Amino acid sequence: MVNIGTVREHVLHQDLDGEIVVLDSRSGDYFNLNEVASRMWVLLTEHGTLSEVIGSLLKEFDIDEEPLKADLMAFIKNLVSSGLMDICEDAFPASE
């Protein structure tokens, strides 16, 4: 199975009490992800499709599907633009 997200080589990350801290070793920038963003990070690196990630998040958090999708897509866009994660285009079916 292909994972949606692959953490870039220069990026270090650690789970600290349920929240993930991400360090870009090239720039020295670090990011502290909240609970929801931390789950998104983990699920993106573990699941093969966007549908699987969304399904897992809907089970875990009390949120409607459309706002969740919008938040997830914004998060993915930020990860890519920040150079923290590569995203597999094959994980996004045409209908999503």
Domain for residue 27, yes or no?
yes
**By residue range, what is the domain housing residue 62?**
5-84
Q: pTM of this prediction?
A: 0.86
Report pLDDT for 37: 95
Report pLDDT for 94: 55
Structure-token match 């692959």, residue found: 6
Report pLDDT for 49: 83
Report pLDDT for 96: 44
User: What does the block give as tokens for 53?
Assistant: 């990630």
Total structural domains within the chain: 1
Residues of the chain with pLDDT under 50: 96
H-helix segments, the chain? 35-46, 50-60, 65-81
Domain for residue 40, yes or no?
yes
